[in-house]
Structures are given as structure tokens and as C-alpha cells.
Structure 1
Amino acid sequence: MAQLSDDCFAHGGRLMRTDEALALLAEKLDSVTSPESLATTDALGRILLEDVTAPSNIPPHDNSAVDGYAVYFDDLNPDSTTRLRISGRQAAGQHPTSPPQRGEALRIFTGAVMPQGPDTVMMQEDCTLEDGWVVIPAGIKRGANRRDAGEDVRAGSRVLRKGQRLRAQDLGQAAAVGRAELKVSSPLRVALFSTGDELREPGCTLEAGAIHDSNRYTLNGLLKSLGCQVSDLGILKDDAGLIESALAQAANSHDVVVTSGGVSVGEEDHVKQAIESLGVMHAWRLAIKPGRPIALGQIGRVPFVGLPGNPVAVLVTFVVIVRPMLMRLMGGSVTAPQRFAVRADFSYRKKKDRREWLRVNLQPGTDGVLHARKFPRDGAGILSSLVESEGLVELPEEMTQVEPGTLVDYLPFSEVIG
């Protein structure tokens, strides 16, 4: 487990482009979690800390892909039916029986070892049985319905890569090469707070000036979808001493501390002062919309992330900055999420040198290409826009104008959430 330097989030303080911010995180951050061995069946969502290779071929032997009859291709009449005597039976899991002689067929089942000699399997649905004989129609290709040893995985090849987050199919692949356990990263322990005197828990009656806390619930889901172990520590009131004490205690038993709200320069925004008292704070001003301000700092050596208070800005800054940051802290490989080219179904103007994300839904166009329809309201406080949208359109810094038909990059929420 590595320790982060005291200035891993330091930068010049100017507006920072997205690619520059991601490059800085890649340069400065390393894993802070511990390795552990975990049963393969329990490793879903964890970061793999080793390459996994195949000790032997998969499948380990030539086998039949269907239920049918194993035959010598050269025994078949290419222009008419062929009648062969059935010499035996081979089921999956059985030791190979004696191979049939030339002019004979072997009854064989899916997954059964192919006998020496026969090179082709005819599906039973295409055959006719006649009192111990099988009648095979013309037209089959040599080697049909036969799976070769190692056609899935060759012995010695890498099947899973260090740093990847394990999916259900990855667990199946690990099991297929015989791995009952895997070396993975322990869950990243994240302390989560919201801040603000105006916030109330869902279920509470709201008095004048109060709102229900939603950001903490969004962030809780985003963090858990990454496999983090989240401690939901509730709402911090706007009290400097209380905030400083709570953050210090959280840092003692967690790998990362995350808050939303309270990191600007208002008189009641005490989080910044608390972090500076406990460690160091770097206020990043990102050239993005929504979500320009984001606070990154450290309480001792424990990373701190202070996200904006607006719910749309919370999600965008999490997806763009916090998600790759947390992946690195867990020892994971970070690759850019897959984006898809679609056509805009709207007009939009933006500032140069700022990257923007617009909430959109997709619909098929008359040209057969998917079109992105922009959510009608742009406000960073409109949480319902995230619920009613399927993803984001990403507009790069150089782009200033979008017209209907413009090709744009679409980022589905499914690529970065869950």
C-alpha cells in the first residue's frame, strides 16, 4: 500500500482543462488500499491485482459442439446421402471410447471428447436413423461442429489483466482456468458527509428554508457502484468546530473523505478552513460546465474531495474527476469511458476553451442514425434532468457551436455508473 505525498493535488490555481486534470491525477496518485486473497465467487466488482493466465488449453481437448454423429469427412458422398453403421456412443465427461473404423459413425454428444480419426460432426437433426445405421445428407463441410483444443484459450495466455474491475464474465473466466481465489484490492473505505444548515434527512418535515438532502444519496450510490465501502456520516451543520472534529475523526478510519457543499468562500462555508487546519486544500477551478469548483486536499495523508452543492454538478464532477481518482486509489487501471458518435437534434452555443456536458436522450432519426435530444432545462440544480436523461453529450473545448445534425460524442450513464 502506497502513501500519497502531501502535495499530490497541487496545481497552479488557474482554470484547468479536463485532460490536464486527469493527467495530473495519473501522475500523482497510487493505490492506498491493501491486497487480499478472495474467493473467486466473492470478487465481483473488486480491482484485480494480478494477471491471470491459463495453465492449460480451454477446451482441454477436441470436442463436439453439438449432439450428433462423429464421422470421417472422406467417407461422405459429396453428391448424395451416405449410410454409415453406428459403432458406439461417446457422452460428455466420459473417457474416449475406441474410435470408429472407416465407414462407421460414432454417436456423440455436446462437449464429448472427439475420438481419434473422425474429423467432422453431423447434427442429429439433419440425420435419419435406420436400425443401427445413420443416413447423412450431402453438403456438410470438413471439420463442421468440431471444437478444437485451445480454441477458446491457449495455455499460457493472459485471460485477465491486473488493474481491471472484475465483472461477472471475468469471474467465470477465472473459474474456467481453475482459479478458486484471486488477489484483489480491499474495498476503498470512504467517509461521506453533506454540509449545510438547510439540509434535512428524507422523511423529515421541511420548515421554511430547508430542503431534503439528495446529494449524499446520489454519491452513496455512485461510490457503492464502484465497489467502495461507504460510511454515510450524515449531515454536518455549519459549525466550524463540529466540521473540523468530524473530518479529523473520519480521516482516522477511512481511505478517502468526500463531502458535497460548503467549499466556497462564504461566511458559513467552513469545510475549506477545516481542511486547511487539518492538512492542505487545493481548490481546483476546472474549465468545465457544470461543476467548475472542486476541492481536492488531504487530511494528513488521507485524500479529501469536496464536490459542489448543485446535484448535476455533483454527478458530472464525480464522473469526470472523482471516478478515475478513486479507481487509481484502488489500484485500478483507468481507461476513458466509451463514447459514441451521434447527431445532435438541437442548437447550442458554448464558450471556447471550456468542456461542457449536456443531458440528453437518444432517439432514432429519419437517416437511420441515433440523434441526441437535449433536456430542455440546463440548470445545475435540476436533479430530475438526470433521472429523465439517458446520458451526456460531451462538447470539447474547441467547439463553440452545435447545430442540428452536428456529430457529437455521447456518453451513456451506463458507461460510468454501475
Structure 2
Amino acid sequence: MGCCDAPGLMPLDEAEAMIYRQLHAIRETETQALPTALDRILAEDIHAPIDVPGYDNSAMDGYALRSADLNQFPTFKQVGKSFAGHAFDGDVGRGQCVRIMTGAPMPKGTDLVVMQEDVNVEGEQIRLTHPQKLKVGTNVRRRGGDIDKGSQILRAGVRLGPAHIGLLASLGLAEVPVFRRLRVGLLSTGDELCPPGTPLASGQIYDSNRYLLSAILTRLNVEILDYGLIADDPAAIRAAFERAQSECDLILSSGGVSVGEADYTRDILGELGDITFWKIAMKPGKPLAFGRLGSAWFFGLPGNPVSAALTFHQIALPALQRLAGELPATPLCLPAELGATTRKRPGRTDFQRGSLTTREGKLVATPQDEQSSGVLSSMTRADCYIKLGQFAGNQAEGETVEVLPFDRWIL
């Protein structure tokens, strides 16, 4: 008997472990130009081809001089200027200095920079006001002080952010090796669903799940294959799944995985695929299917919008990241004081929407008044999940709870 047929619900941590054991990152790679590499996944370790900075340079606007002269001369004669991009190419002798700007190369023979605020200018001479503060290397950025040539600067699996892009550019790299983008199929099932922009018929609601999921997938920078709204018709559902499994790395379906008279999705998935589990001990989000359809992975998300958002955010999204080749990341989890008493029945891990504030220097998480899985507006008023363990019961105001702040994927 498979786990999906066993009585009871699969604990959340077991479901996650089962998913991660089965998933393996894609291997296909491509070369991406740096300006379009944002949010791509690095496919190889990157080692620095040059030193950064590539030469000793000034960290301040001021005057470059020789440390050996500090106790030898009361004043120093300015013999030239050094700017970023226009270096002073002469020699600096005893008792001499060079006017220098931030980032400019250090003139030959000099080994410190005195800030312009610490000198008195007397014609072509400068007089130091605080020479005792100066020593070899003062206000000098050494060659390779940031990055040594040959050192590893980024690991394979990093999702490239703006700082990574800037770092790669500082090394002179115009392109980088990345994993290809995942192909993710997206569809919603249900006769009650209607696309936004069209009038609602009696008993219909607008399809919000597909738009919410598409927005997160866009941020994830995957290739989205949108199969649209699929009617509660066995032939239509079967045709959509058969097409998607041949075109996608992973399929996301919203609705149709709970037990219901018109939920044909579950039956067809059983025919076409190998479903590992159908439901988990999680609230909201109990009806959640995971498995394979042909060569594609499959997540069947609940139809209620908060349930769909939560199960995607907490379970499907980390799976997608691993499948894309991204290094696993530990979500930020903070202890907080509960701002109001909240009700909970033991049996499922509960993710209540909440709001974070501080009170007397302590982090306080207050549950939203409305915790229904159908009230999507509560997600826009919240900024965190209050995570209550599977076997926890009611929680009193003031107790310490785990809090998962919303991240870029859901905000």
C-alpha cells in the first residue's frame, strides 16, 4: 500500500523530505550575457581572473607621500596630481607629495595618503596637522584587497542578484554559465472559474490562483507554459495533462485534487502518472498532490486561494528551486511573542497569517482576524506566517511562537 492510500495525513517534514529525495537538478546549461543574467542560476563555480582592485589606490581625496619622510620634513612640496583614470606617472622624491583623488593609483614610491582635511595648504607646500596618525598603508586600498586572482568568488547554484551581477562585471566577465530555465506548466481546473475581464455567470468566481502562481513564477525566472482554464471534463483534463507532460519539467495544477463528485483530476492523475501522496498534515493546504506525469514532475495544489498560495510558497517553490539547480536555502525563522490568543486543533502544522510589530523591544506576531483559506485579502494585510507545530493546541497571548516573515516571492 502506498503512502497516499494509507489512513491519516502525511506530516509536513516527511512530505518535504520525500520530495527532496526524488528531485534532481537539471543538467543542461547555457551561456548568458551579464545584462540578462539576473535571477539565473549559476552553473559553475566562478574564480576571479584578476585582482580587485588591480592596483594600489587611494581610499580618500588627499595627498600621497612617503612614510619614510614623516619625521624628516615639516612641509611637503606638491609635484603633481593623480586622478582615477589619469595616474601620475612620475617619481615622488624625498619631501614631495602628489595630490590624489579617491580611486586613483598610488604614485610610485608613495605608501600612504593623508586626508585633505588633515593638511594646511601653503602655496605649493602642504603642512600635516596630525602626522602622528599616519603610518604605512594609511588610506590605501591594496591590490587584491577585495579579491585575489584565482580565488573562488561564487558557487555553482547561486541565484544571481544585482550585487552578484556587479561583482562579475568588476572582474571583467561579460557572460556567465547558467542552468537553462525550467519549463513550468500552469493550469487551473473547475467549471466555476472565470478569467478576469469577463462577466461572471451565476455560481462563478474569478480564477485568481493561476495569476498568483504566474506572478511568483515570473519572479522565479522560469519559462511559463500557461495551459489556461480547463473545464471539469475528463477528456479536456486528460488532453491538457498529456500535452503538458511532454513539454514541461514540472506541472502546477490548481484545484481538483480533493475528493469531490466532479473532481476528475485525481482519477486522471492516477491513470497517467505516479502520485507519491495526495494530502498532508498542513493547514491550510491539506489536499496537495505530488508525483510524476511521464517525464514531468507534478504538484496538484488546492483550489482555495490561500491554500494554493501557501502550499506553493512553502513546498512547491523550494522544490522548483532545487530542480532549477539552486542551492538550498534555509528560510528565515524568528521567535516572536504571540500578540493575541489563537485557536488550533492538534493534528496539522498550522500556518496562520499574521502581522509583525515590536513591543518593548520584543518582536510580536499578531494573527489576522480572518484565517479562512478562501480569504485571499488576508495575505495582502499580513507580512508573516505564524507557524504552529503539528501537535500544538491553542496558543495564549504572550507565548513564544515561530514566525516566517514573508519574502520576495509572496510580497
Pick the TM interval, shorter chain: over 0.9
Task: Report the counterpart of residue 140 of structure 1 in structure 2.
Answer: 133
Task: Name the SS of the counterpart of 2:75 in structure 1.
Answer: strand
Assess, with a 3 A threshold, how the Cα gap between structure 1 residues 402 and 115 changes in structure 2: closer, same or farther.
farther
Superposition TM-score, scaled by structure 1 size: 0.91
- For residues 48 and 101 of structure 1, the distance between their equivalents in structure 2, rounded to whole angstroms, comes to 49
Q: Would the aligned equivalents of 2:81 and 2:87 in 1 still touch at CA under 8 Å?
A: no
Q: Which amino acid aligns with 1:333?
A: L
Assess, with a 3 A threshold, how the Cα gap between structure 1 residues 12 and 362 changes in structure 2: closer, same or farther.
same
Task: Report the counterpart of residue 297 of structure 1 in structure 2.
Answer: 291
Q: In the alignment, does 2:26 pair up with 1:44?
A: no
The alpha-carbon deviation at position 281 of structure 1 amounts to: 2.3
Q: Which amino acid aligns with 2:77?
A: R
Name segments (4+ residues, structure 1) moved above 6 Å: 9-12
Task: Report the counterpart of residue 275 of structure 1 in structure 2.
Answer: 269
Superposition TM-score, scaled by structure 2 size: 0.92
- For residues 312 and 232 of structure 2, the distance between their equivalents in structure 1, rounded to whole angstroms, comes to 23
Assess, with a 3 A threshold, how the Cα gap between structure 1 residues 277 and 41 changes in structure 2: closer, same or farther.
same
- For residues 151 and 402 of structure 2, the distance between their equivalents in structure 1, rounded to whole angstroms, comes to 35
C-alpha distance after superposition, 1:334-358 (max 9, x if no partner): 1122223332211224344532211
Task: Name the SS of the counterpart of 1:348 in structure 2.
Answer: coil
Task: Name the SS of the counterpart of 2:321 in structure 1.
Answer: helix
Q: In the alignment, does 2:322 pair up with 1:331?
A: no
The alpha-carbon deviation at position 89 of structure 1 amounts to: 1.6
Assess, with a 3 A threshold, how the Cα gap between structure 1 residues 405 and 175 changes in structure 2: closer, same or farther.
same
Q: Which amino acid aligns with 1:186?
A: R
- For residues 65 and 122 of structure 1, the distance between their equivalents in structure 2, rounded to whole angstroms, comes to 10
Q: In the alignment, does 2:161 pair up with 1:167?
A: yes
Q: Which amino acid aligns with 1:105?
A: C
Task: Name the SS of the counterpart of 1:319 in structure 2.
Answer: helix
The alpha-carbon deviation at position 329 of structure 1 amounts to: 1.5
- For residues 91 and 189 of structure 1, the distance between their equivalents in structure 2, rounded to whole angstroms, comes to 50
Task: Report the counterpart of residue 84 of structure 2 in structure 1.
Answer: 92
Q: 1:106 aligns with which of 93, 98, 112?
A: 98
Task: Report the counterpart of residue 309 of structure 1 in structure 2.
Answer: 303
Matches within 5 A, 1:19-418: 19-32=13-26, 34-76=28-70, 83-94=75-86, 97-138=89-130, 140-142=133-135, 143-352=137-346, 354-365=348-359, 367-397=360-390, 399-414=392-407, 416-417=409-410
Aligned-residue RMSD, C-alpha? 2.3
Unaligned regions of 5+ residues in structure 1, if any?
Answer: 1-8
Q: Would the aligned equivalents of 1:33 and 1:188 in 2 still touch at CA under 8 Å?
A: no
Unaligned regions of 5+ residues in structure 2, if any?
Answer: none
Task: Name the SS of the counterpart of 1:414 in structure 2.
Answer: coil
Task: Report the counterpart of residue 12 of structure 2 in structure 1.
Answer: 18
- For residues 360 and 331 of structure 1, the distance between their equivalents in structure 2, rounded to whole angstroms, comes to 32
C-alpha distance after superposition, 1:293-331 (max 9, x if no partner): 211122211111110011111111111110111112111
- For residues 144 and 401 of structure 1, the distance between their equivalents in structure 2, rounded to whole angstroms, comes to 61
The alpha-carbon deviation at position 33 of structure 1 amounts to: 6.0
- For residues 118 and 245 of structure 2, the distance between their equivalents in structure 1, rounded to whole angstroms, comes to 68
Task: Name the SS of the counterpart of 2:288 in structure 1.
Answer: strand
